[in-house]
A and B are shown apart, each in its own frame.
Chain A
Amino acid sequence: MEIFNDLIMGFHVAFSLQNLFFCFMGTLFGTLIGVLPGIGPTTGVAILIPITFGMNPTTAIITMAGVYYGAMFGGATTSILLNVPGESASVMTCLDGHQLAKNGRPGPALGMASMSSFIGGTFAVLLLTFLAPPLARFAVSFGPPEYFALTFMGLTLVTSLGGDSPLRGIISGILGLLVACIGIDAQSGVARFTFGIMYTLDGIGFIGVAVGLFALSEILENMEGPMEQMVSKTKLRIRTLFPNLEDWKNSWKTIIRGSLIGFFIGILPGAGATIASFMSYAAAKKFSKRAEKFGTGVIEGVAAPESANNAAAGGAMVSLLTLGIPGSGTTAVLLGALLIHGMRPGPLLFTSNPEFVWGLIASMYIGNVMLIIQNMPMIGLWVRMLKVPYKILMPLIITISAVGVFATDNNLADVWVMVTFGIIGYVMRKMKYPAAPMVLALVLGPMVEMSLRQSLTISHGNVAIFFTRPISAVLSIFAILSLFAPLFRILWNRYKARGKAAV
C-alpha cells in the first residue's frame, strides 16, 4: 500500500517539533476565531498570511489549515451559549444548541459539538487520505444544473424548519430570498433593490443578518422584562458536562450522516460548509423519529451541523489540493497563501511535493486530536460563563457582536445590517415567525438563481437540461417530491382521519 507509506512519511513531517507546535497554535487560534462572533476562518487565515511569511511552506499551511478546521470547532461555542453564531457555518447550531443551554444542558451540547466535530473532521481526513484523486472527478461533476437541483432541494427543505406554522416558515423564507436579491445581479450587471447605497451593491452581508436575527433580537426580547439569569441556577448543574448514553444513542446515526453529507458537499466548489451544515440538519430532521422536537433543544440538532461543517472543511481540501480549485472563501485564501509560499496546488502537487501534501494531511489528523483535547476541558469554563449575571453579560454580547461583525470586512455598514436585522428579528419573534428559514434562504437564494440562469443560458432556455443529466435528474426529482411532501402528508392525514371517522 503506497498510501500508507506516504502517510507514514507525512506523519514523519508533521511530528517535527516545529510543526507540532504550529499545528497546536493554529488550531488554538482557529478556536478563538471560531468563538468570536462574526469574524470567521476566512479572516483568520488571512490575518496569518503575513505572519507565516518566514516559515517553510509546510509549517505555514499546517498552521493555516489548523485555523480553518479549528474555527469550525470553536464556532459552536457562542452559538450554544449565547445564540450568537460564531461564524456562518455555525448558524444551524444555534437552533437546538441554544435551546439545550437554556434547558440547563449547555455541557452536553458543547460536548456533543466537540465530539461530532472531531468525528466529522477525522472522517473527512480519512476520506481525503484514501480517495482524494478519484474524488476530484466528483468535484467537477457538478455543473450548473446539478447545483440548481441541489440548492433547490435545499430550499424546499427550508419550509420544514418553520416550527408549528408552515405558512410563517414559508413567508420567512421568501423574505430571505428577497433580501438575497439585493445587490448587483452578476449575470446582467443590473443593480437590484440597492436604494442607491454603495454597500448594497455587493448584497447584504450574511453574518450581519445572522447575528442580528439570532443574537440581537434575543437580547431585545430579554430586555422587555426584568433581567433574569439566562439559565436559572436550579437547572444548571456543572457536573453534567458530557453527553450521556442516551444522547449518543440519539446522535450516532446523525453524526455519520452529517459527516458524509458535509464531506461531499464540502468537495463541491461553490457549496461550502454553511450549506453542508444546513443540509445535514435538514436531513437529520427528515429522518428523525422525533422531528417535531427539532428546534426545542434536541442533541442531534447540534450533532448534525457540527459533524457536517467539520467534514466540509476536510472535503474542501480535496478540490483545493488535487485541482487547485478553492471550494469556499477560506480555501480561496488558503490557495493564495499556498501561492505566496511557491506551492501550486493542482493535479501535480501530490507527485511534485509529496512531503508537503502528506505532511499537511497527517497534521490534520493530529490537529483534530489536539482540538478535542483543547476543547473538552474548556467546556466547564464556558458553562460557568452562563452563571455570570445576564445584565453583565448583555453589554458584552452586544459589543462583541458589533465588533465581530465589523471586523469581517472592516465595514460599519455590516454593523448597520446587524442592527436592522436585530429589529426585524425582534418583530418576527413577537409575531411568531421563525428566523432560520430567512437566514438559510439568504444563503441558498443566490445559488438557486445563479445556477438556474446559468443552466438556461447553456441550454438556450431549454428546461430539459435539469432532467437529462443523471445527477441533476435524481436531485430534481427529490426536490419535487420534497416540495410536495407536505401536501401529500396533509392529504394522507385527512384520508386517515376520514377513515377513522367512518369507523
Chain B
Amino acid sequence: MKNVCKWLVLFMVGLFVAIGAGNALAASSFPEKPVTLVVHAGAGGGSDIFARTLAASVEKDKLLPKPLVVENKPGGSGGIAFAYVASKKKDPYFMVTAVTSFITTPLMGLTPVGLKDFTPIANFAFDEYMLMVRSDSKYKSMKDVVTEAKANPKKITVGGTQLGSSDSICTYMIEKEAGIQLNYVVFNSGGEVNAAVLGGHVDMMVANPGEALELYKAGKVRILGVYAEKRLVGAPEVPTMKEQGINAVYVQNRGLCAPADIPADARKVLEEALFKYTKTDIFKKYIKDNMLSDAWMDGATFGKFLEEWNGKYAVILKDMNLIKKK
C-alpha cells in the first residue's frame, strides 16, 4: 500500500513538472492554443459585430497562428464578462471587449473588478454620437432647443437607453454645458428609441451615425449636432456641438483588454497582430460600414486613455447621481 502511494506521489510530481514545463515552453511561442475573446454584450450588438469581424480577419488574414474564439457573456452591464476575464489573471489566452461600460460599470459599483485587474491591449476605433430629431420637428438647430428649454425647463423629451449609458451621458453633457434641463426618457434599446422619435413620441434622441445616418439620408430625421471636434465624413453639412456654442465632445472607444499581469511577450504578440488588423481590408470595410473613426492606440496609450476617461466619467456619473455611496 505504502509503495503504491509513493509511486502515485512520484507520478503526480512528474505530471505537474511536465505540465509546468509545457506551460513554460508554451509561453515562448504564444499562442499555443486558440485565444478566447469574451464579448461583454449579447450577440448582434456593436461589440459582438466588432469581435466577430476581428475573429474573421484573424483567420482569413492569418494574424495569429491560432484562431480567435468569440464567446458572449452578456449581463450585469458587462460586469459578468469583466469579472470573468479578470479572474483569469496572468492568462494571456483571454481578452474582453472594452467600451464605455468597461469604465462606467465599475464606477457605478456594479462589479467588484476595475481597471487595475486588466492589461490594456489596444484600441481600434471611436463611435461618434449625435443629437437628432424627426424631420418635421420645430427644432432646427441647437439654438432652438436651448431657447425652448430655457423657457420651459424639462419639457423637451430625450429618448435613450438606461442611465449611465452613453446616451444618458451625452444628454447630461448638453444639459450641463448649455445650462438647460431636459426630460430624459429611458427605453430598452436603441431601436425602440428610434421608433419613438420617428413616431413623435419623444422629441429627440442621441444616436450613433451607424444607427441613424440611413434615416437621415432618407429625410426622416434631422441631425442637430455632432459630439465631435470635427464634422462627420458621412454628413459634412451637420455642424458640431462646439460650433453651436455647446462644449460637448464625446466618443465611445472600441478596444480590447486582457487580464492583469500577462507575460510581456504575449502582450507584444497580441498588440502586433492587432495592429496588423487595422491595416486589413476587413477592418477598413468595418470602419466604413459602421461609420466609426479609426483610432488606433497601443496598450500603453490605451491604458492612459482609460485612466483619463475614468477620471472624467467619475465626475460626470457623480453629478448624475449614479455613483452610490457605500
| Chains A and B form a bound pair | yes
> What are the residues of chain A within 8 A of B80 when measuring CB–CB?
198-199, 411
Q: Are A140 and B199 in contact (CB under 8 A)?
A: yes
Q: Are B53 and A340 in contact (CB under 8 A)?
A: yes
8 A–B contacts, CB within 8 A, in A order: A188-B163, A269-B192, A324-B215, A325-B198, A332-B45, A344-B213, A409-B74, A454-B187
Given A325-B194, A409-B74, A411-B80; A340-B43 close (CB under 8 Å):
no
**Distance in angstroms between the alpha carbons of A183 and B35 in the assembled complex:** 32
A49 within 8 A of B: yes
| Contacts of A436-469 to chain B: CB distance below 8 A | 450, 454, 457-458, 460
Q: Are B79 and A198 in contact (CB under 8 A)?
A: yes
Q: Are B42 and A198 in contact (CB under 8 A)?
A: no
Q: Are A186 and B44 in contact (CB under 8 A)?
A: no
Q: Are B289 and A184 in contact (CB under 8 A)?
A: no
Our pick among B45, B195, B220 for the contact of A336 (Cβ within 8 Å) is B45
Our pick among B43, B108, B110, B201 for the contact of A144 (Cβ within 8 Å) is B201
Q: Are B289 and A342 in contact (CB under 8 A)?
A: yes
Given A143-B199, A186-B163, A270-B195; A46-B73 close (CB under 8 Å):
no
Q: Are B183 and A457 in contact (CB under 8 A)?
A: yes
| Contacts of A325-342 to chain B: CB distance below 8 A | 325-327, 329, 332-337, 339-340, 342
Given A269-B191, A344-B214; A410-B44 close (CB under 8 Å):
no
Binding site for B on A (CB under 8 A): 42-43, 45-46, 49-50, 53, 139-144, 184, 186-189, 191, 198-199, 201-202, 269-270, 319, 323-327, 329, 332-337, 339-340, 342, 344-349, 409-411, 450, 454, 457-458, 460
Nearest-Cβ distance from residue B155 to partner chain A, whole angstroms: 8
> What are the residues of chain A within 8 A of B195 when measuring CB–CB?
139-140, 142, 269-270, 319, 323, 325
Assign chain B's interface to a size class.
Answer: 35 or more
Q: Are B77 and A201 in contact (CB under 8 A)?
A: yes
Q: Are A187 and B163 in contact (CB under 8 A)?
A: yes
Nearest-Cβ distance from residue B214 to partner chain A, whole angstroms: 3
B322 within 8 A of A: yes
Q: Are B52 and A49 in contact (CB under 8 A)?
A: yes
Q: Are A339 and B210 in contact (CB under 8 A)?
A: yes
Q: Are A332 and B185 in contact (CB under 8 A)?
A: no
| Contacts of B167-201 to chain A: CB distance below 8 A | 183, 185-189, 191-192, 194-196, 198-201
**Distance in angstroms between the alpha carbons of A202 and B80 in the assembled complex:** 10
B252 within 8 A of A: no
Our pick among A143, A186, A198 for the contact of B76 (Cβ within 8 Å) is A198
Q: Are A199 and B214 in contact (CB under 8 A)?
A: no
B75 within 8 A of A: yes
**Distance in angstroms between the alpha carbons of A201 and B110 in the assembled complex:** 8
**Distance in angstroms between the alpha carbons of A205 and B18 in the assembled complex:** 43
B133 within 8 A of A: no
